[in-house]
Structure 1
Amino acid sequence: MLYSDIADVFDRLEGTSSRLEMTSIFSDFFKGLDPGSLRKIVYLSQGRLHPDFYNAELGMADKLVLRAISFTAGVSESKMDELWKKEGDPGKIAETLMKNRKQASLFSEPLTLEKVLKNLTMIESAEGRDSQDKKMKLLSNLLMDSNPVEARYLCRIVTGRMRIGAGSMTILDALAEAFGTKEDRPDIERGFNITCDLGFVAETLAIGGVEAVKKMKVTVGNPIKVMLAERLPSISLIMDRMGGRCAMEFKYDGIRVQAHIDRDSVKLYSRRLEDMTSNFPDIAAELRKQCRAERAIIEGECVAIDKDGNMLPFQNVTHRRKKHGMDQAVEDYPVKIFMFDILSVDDEDMTLRPLGERRSKLNETFGLSDMIQLTTMEVVNSPEEGEDFFNRALGKKCEGIMAKSLSQESVYRAGSRGFLWIKYKKDYEEALTDSFDLVVVGAFHGRGKRAGKYGALLMAAFDDESGKYCTVCKLGTGFDDAFLAGMPDMLDEYLSETHPSTVDAEMIPDVWFLPTVILEVVAAEISLSPIHTAAKSIMKDNAGLGLRFPRFTGRVREDKGPEECTTVNEIISMFEMQAQNKA
């Protein structure tokens, strides 16, 4: 298959901001592909060679890619520096220089998908002293045979800057349209939620249809999208919603971890599918030791503790996210894991079992130790019992409680948010109900003391219906000097020279960013806003919802991917809860 056919589709996708049009472009393209190529192209469309949880990256730095472009096009370093300052996008630079190239090499030949994948795989696996030169030459070899559009996407793939604007939900829509119906869409999405492998789902669907996808099971080694909770503003409302009886458990202030335990290995994944095994080697070893099954998948919260075994705030466990000096971090920052769910035991899918059965299976599958514990959980039958349990949770330095349904419908809904689980914190009794995890989509240049730096950020929530990131506030409070100084290092790799097609904004920042970095934000209240686009015209014509007096808490949510940020629907629910509390 020619790579130019794929690059042309990427170009069409980048040229539209309509999710429906993107779905149609993908769907028409997918129908004509063989299943093996389909799987690989789905990965490439997201700038990868593998599913998100695969622990390998192409990892070519901008400077190295610019060297490859310079070598291929025969352009001086000074000219490259000039283009870099102007464009800030290796893909655009490659496209421009390939257009200006007088003629292709006498030995050039049309690029095939097979050759692109071969070279990219070699780039990904290159190691050792000469690895940078190897990567540069492998990319240059591809650029020699590429046309301008092909060159644009080759350089964007290797730098992790695909900008076609098509997220996982759009691709799932396209797969349903190409190989099934709208009614099949939930089954296809569940296949993705229990495997986190979009390419595998696409290939399975193309070969065996929707019935084959329905038969997909939870498997050790494939992370599962986590189940999420709703909010309610009082214990009494929670009990009403749960039918007067539910399980309540302590909500710990740590890092949520999903452990995949095999016969002789353990993998730990964060909620954004990062492999965190090296961050918690002690937890991994103890889980294998205490597991009575050959294989299992469990979820738990890793919490930092002091020398007396008392729980410490979240900031302490983040020291375990270091990339270097882990031996010392393990010694300096001891942790324990509180297990709260089991999703698979010896290849038996537990996600379709009710909570009571899952909890019993968790109890019988694991022994306990100082490092491995179960969450504190009790069955509650009245608001008074719930209040007592909540106060005990606060006394143990927990951030709140989780209330969970005990009905026969209380299955584990991977990747879904609903009222089977409800979280409750102390501040839910106040006017504004919770913090927000918002994605950075733009920045404003600073003035006065902040001159020469980013002075404020444009923040957005995710609309899972449109697939867009909708603005909710301009954030300029809560930044200390160190954070302000470090903003360019954190954000500039996601710079976009144009308004990203996935961002719905009427407020225009000085610079745009691809939605990637998530910050935790608190605010005085949610209000109707004429300038922000979240929930536009839903609560009132020509008005969205915005945050008043937003402030950065100091917490960067490295454990979340952009589509896991606070959603527009959540903000609508919080706005309604705020109105109830005020009343």
Structure 2
Amino acid sequence: MPKRASSASTTPTKTKRVKESHNQIRLDHFFASPSKQHLESKGTNTRSPLPEFIQGSSKLQKNTRPSSPEIIDVDAIDIATEPNESSAHTTINKQSSPKEDVSSIPSILAKVDKQQAQSEKPAIFAALDVDPVTYSPDLPLPHSAEAPYSLLTLALISLSQTRSRILIIDILTNVLRTIMANYPPSLLPAIYLLSNSLGPQFIPIELGLGSSILTRSIQQVSGMSAAALRKLYNSTGDPGDVAYTAKSNVRTLVAHKPLTIPLVYNSMIKISKCKGQGAAKEKQKIVEKLLLAANGEEVRYLTRTLCQNLRVGAVRTSILTALARAVVLTPPSTVSTAPTSFDEDADNPLHVPSSVLMEWKKDWKPTKGKVSDPRRETLYKIYKRAENLIKQVYVRHPSYDQIIPAILQQGLDSLAERVPLAVGVPLLPMLGSPTRSLDEIYAKLGELPFIAEYKYDGQRAQIHASRGSKTKHEMKIFSRHLEDMTAKYPDVTGLIEYMFQSAPDLTSFIIDAEIVAIDRATGALKSFQELSGRARKDVNIKEVKISVGIFAFDLMYLDGESLLGRSFRLRRTLLRDRFSPFKMQSNEDPFLARFNFVESCESTQGRAAIETFITNAVENRCEGLMIKLLDEPDLSGTVPEKQSRHKVLPATYEPDLRTLGWLKLKKDYMEGIVDSLDLIPVGAWYGNGRKVKWWSPVLLALWNPRTGRPVAVCKCMSGFTDTFYATMKETYSLGSELCSETQKWECDFGGFKPDVYFKPCVVWEIRGADITESPVSIAAQELVSDSRGLSLRFPRFIRVKDDKGIEQASNPAFLVDMWRNQQGKRNDAGNDEGDLVDVDEYMESSAGEEEDQESDF
């Protein structure tokens, strides 16, 4: 046996302070909040905003899902000498000093071990990583009414050990089936815990659990010092691993009731509601109780859940797919599955009868790839029908609070009617597919009639309103990401009140619009940067200094009727017929927002008119144009080969989809709008989805002649071909002299944290959007501000510059010149779909995306 650490005196050996190095500090997702994850000062004076036990050097973790790490021998780590004064729990830590009275410890530990063996015996569940058809969700009775947290932990462990999308969906399907069959009330909290959230996206529920609270909780439960925990973190790099290792050395004198899924979820809700004086202590108390009740791997994944960083591949699409399949195979007890056989083509069923499933299980052989099996083909047809239904319902009503109870009551039958589009619940917005030129637009649309609209430099807003009694109307304003912005725009809610007053027959509506900063006197458009200067919460309408205009472009709901399935021509006509522009008059409230329709130009006016319209849009400081198909294509008389092209040309409103029915022509993507940059690839992240076997996105850098090394400026994932991806992965193969998991080459990364690091050795030409200020990049920071650098929005790879060395790459001064000379400045946060845009990926149809999700990694 290895010798225990020497402790010849009651005073433990002092641990040397780990020397801080800001180049090696790992900014953890939880222990540093997003707003604090960036280095806020320059040079060696940079201080990490992490808690005490995390500061110092640490190993960077690669972006894989490893199995449980080796438990570290914490006997060799210093422990706290001070008593746990505030602890309300009796624990024994086996790291006791030899001079303490330990004569009774062995017998106590033996008793505790026996007690824990009896009280902590985990529930036994079947393996989840199997074909759902062969999986049995039934458990022996009796069992508890609430699903044990150990079941969810088993699922999380299984998810963390695979990157296969098929296997991820199978695991999720099986765990959801088990919960539905045995613990129906636990399904909703299980879905939220799996999705790493506490509620619908549009309801602001913040856990509010600071890093210091979790640090103190782990210290309190384990009895370990901050220095010991810091050592653990430097060795594992993950808060969950730290808590798991620390808790593994603790024995409790009092057995704790096993954790359940509802208990964990409800505890997190309680934490989110702790406010005011004493909130921190109350939160810590809740966390300590959870950690003490957790056993084994539960500690690891409970901690990651509290950090809101589960590190498993359970994304929203996977959860919805698994939920649909779970209901198909294990419908709620309220749904009748009596028939022993069924006609799939005639009945279009959404569930598989239990008797049929039992018959299939007898000789069902799990297989990879496509096989000629009528039963499997039938099952996949039912799967696809159920998945499409649940996804359709979710994008129109993205709230599990209504979807899950509806499923448990009646299954999938008539689910869309029972959970419809509703005022006050934002739907996921329809998205535009980028194009690079007007020629490309005409090539895609041909002679089909379309409307060209200004793409304003503002904030997309979804405005919900419903008439109430007298002046108590229901009004909500949601952002593109479904955040509730109602309190931010009292001038818009005031405008809605005016609309109801001036239109007595108007009862309810949902409008898609752009909120743009305007000059109150002239109505001239202002930049998004000025709009972002408005306060975000509790805005007093009398104190509003930045006026806004509402530019409406679509109508999804009117007077109790959904318009999503109607053509854009009809929706546009209703919008303009039922609503009127509102501009400031001498006798009207000057604090109300203005209302108008987007500037537009019809294709019937000719191509020359559209070209002039593009020029006018750029001159009016717009981002470009949106091209929208007016009517559904007439497919009669077309050959099947041509029909497939028109399937992605809908004139209907398609929530959460990018189709060719909406095309986006931004000045950022048009040749000649923005000069190109010569940048150096210095790192990358592991790809997802179709790109899982490649590096994507890639981190690019400028060359800083002042420091003599590159400085990271932006990520890029657009413009690459599959062939180039394959070549790049071969060139930068992990472990080669050009690619490493750790930082081996000098480079200033700022707030970027790539999964792997590239040796700076080549130069790429990059073209993209305009230059913006960034809280992540430190490129040109010394030339711009003390806290922010510059970055490139929507970068796109053009070509490799073989004729240039890295010292000839673009430098910070060149970037600053571009930033100062560009037409109009935007806020660093952007006002579009994000900082990374793969314009080539947008061209793929939704069918292609679904196919991609079924591919085995």
Alpha-carbon separation, structure 1, partners of 2:452 and 2:626: 6
The structure whose RCO (Cα within 8 Å, separation 6+) is larger is 1
In structure 2, list runs of 5 or more residues that go unmatched: 1-146, 329-381, 468-472, 584-593, 633-649, 707-711, 713-728, 734-738, 744-751, 756-775, 778-790, 802-808, 820-825, 845-857
Give deviations 1:91-140, integer Å, cap 9, x for gaps: 22211112111x13414111122322222221111111111111110111
Asked if 1:121 is matched to 2:269, the reply is yes
SS state at 2:277 partner: coil
Q: 1:383 aligns with which of 603, 607, 615?
A: 607
Report matched runs for 1:81-230 at 5 Å: 81-101=230-250, 103-180=251-328, 181-184=382-385, 185-198=387-400, 200-205=402-407, 207-215=409-417, 216-230=419-433
2:262 equivalent to 1:39:
no
How big is the shift at 1:469?
Answer: 9.3
Where does residue 57 of structure 1 map in the other structure? 206
Q: What residue is the counterpart of 1:346 in the other structure?
A: 559
Q: Secondary structure at the match of 2:321?
A: helix
Taking the aligned partners of 2:828 and 2:671, their CA distance within structure 1 comes to 24
Q: SS at 1:312's partner residue?
A: coil
- Give CA deviations for 1:383-430 in whole Å, capped at 9, x if unaligned: 122123223323332221111111134110000001101121345441
Written as runs of structure 1 = structure 2, the 5 A alignment for 1:412-491 is: 412-426=653-667, 428-430=669-671, 458=683, 471-477=696-702
Per the alignment, residue 523 of structure 2 pairs with 309
Match of 2:798 in 1: 526
Q: 1:478 to 1:138 in 2, by over 3 A?
A: farther
* TM alignment of 1:469-548, pairs within 5 A: 471-477=696-702, 508=740, 510=743, 512=753, 521-523=793-795, 525-527=797-799
State the SS of the aligned residue for 2:486. Answer: coil
Deviations 1:280-326 (A, max 9, x none): 22223323432443332211111112343211122221223x55685
Does the 8 Å CA contact 1:250/1:375 hold for their aligned counterparts? yes
Whether contact under 8 Å (2:490, 2:539) holds in the other structure is no
Does the CA-based 8 Å contact 1:96-1:148 persist in structure 2?
no
Q: Give the AA of the match of 1:570.
A: E
- Percent of aligned positions that are identical: 26
* Contact 1:95/1:152 (8 A) holds in 2: yes
Any idea what the Cα deviations from partners look like across 1:408-454, whole Å, max 9, x if unmatched? 3411000000110112134544179999xxxxxxxxxxxxxxxxxxx
* Structure with the greater alpha carbon radius of gyration: 2
How far residue 560 of structure 1 moved from its aligned partner, in angstroms, is 6.9
Match of 1:260 in 2: 464
Report what 2:77 is aligned to. Answer: none
Letter in 2 for 1:402: M
Separation in 1, partners of 2:838, 2:463: 26
Q: Encode CA deviations 1:178-227: one digit per residue, 9 max, x unaligned.
A: 23434223332222211223564455445434433343421122221111
Q: Secondary structure at the match of 2:179?
A: coil
Higher strand share: 1
**Aligned partner of 2:395: which letter?**
N
Paired letter, 1:17: R
Residues 42, 199 of structure 1: 8 Å contact kept: no
**Partners of 1:52 and 1:273 within 8 A in 2:** yes
Q: Distance in 1 between matches of 2:662 and 2:323?
A: 30
> Structure 1: which amino acid aligns with 2:300?
R
1:452 corresponding residue in structure 2:
none
**Equivalent of 2:622 in 398, 401, 423:** 398
Rounded to whole Å, the distance in 2 between the matches of 1:126 and 1:227 is 37
Relative to structure 1, the CA distance from residue 462 to residue 572 in structure 2 (aligned partners, 3 Å threshold; closer, same or farther) is farther
The answer for the alignment partner of 1:318 in structure 2 is 532
Contact kept, 8 Å, 1:305 with 1:335, in 2: the verdict is: yes
Counterparts of 2:317 and 2:431, CA distance in 1: 17
Aligned residues: 512
Please say if 1:71 is aligned against 2:193.
no
Point out where structure 1 has 5 or more consecutive residues left out of the alignment. 436-454, 482-486, 488-503, 530-547, 574-583
Is the alpha carbon distance of 1:367 and 1:257 closer, same or farther for their aligned partners in structure 2, counting shifts above 3 Å? Answer: same
Q: Is the 8 A contact 2:550 2:595 kept in 1?
A: yes
Distance 1:235 1:512, change over 3 A: closer
Does the 8 Å contact 2:456/2:516 carry over to 1?
Answer: yes
Could you tell me which residue of structure 2 aligns to residue 484 of structure 1?
none
Instruction: Verify the 8 A CA contact 1:22 1:170 in the aligned structure 2.
Output: yes
The root-mean-square deviation of aligned C-alpha atoms, in Å, is 3.8
Evaluate the alpha carbon distance shift between residue 10 and residue 143 of structure 1 in structure 2; reply closer, same or farther with a 3 A threshold.
Answer: same
**Match of 2:511?**
298
Q: Is the 8 Å Cα contact of residues 434 and 839 (structure 2) preserved in structure 1?
A: no
Paired amino acid for 2:394: F
Secondary structure of the residue that 1:120 maps to in structure 2? helix
Aligned counterparts of 2:255 and 2:653: Cα–Cα separation in 1: 56
Distance 1:147 1:457 in 2: 42
Distance 1:401 1:206, change over 3 A: same
Query: 1:445 aligns to what?
Result: none
User: Secondary structure, in 3 states, of the residue corresponding to 2:197?
Assistant: coil
Q: Is the 8 A contact 1:254 1:304 kept in 2?
A: yes
C-alpha distance 468-117 of structure 1, shift in aligned 2 (>3 A):
farther
Distance 1:572 1:474, change over 3 A: farther
Taking structure 1 as the reference length, the TM-score comes to 0.77
Question: 1:512–1:176: structure 2 CA closer, same or farther, 3 Å change rule?
Answer: farther
Once the two structures are superposed, the pairs formed by residues 536-575 of structure 1 within 5 Å of their partners are 556-557=828-829, 565-567=836-838, 569-570=840-841
Distance 1:251 1:323, change over 3 A: closer
Q: In 1, are the aligned partners of 2:460 and 2:480 still within 8 Å (CA)? A: yes
Most deviating of 249-258 and 187-196: 187-196
1:478 CA drift (Å): 10
Shift of 1:523: 4.3
TM-score (norm 2): 0.54
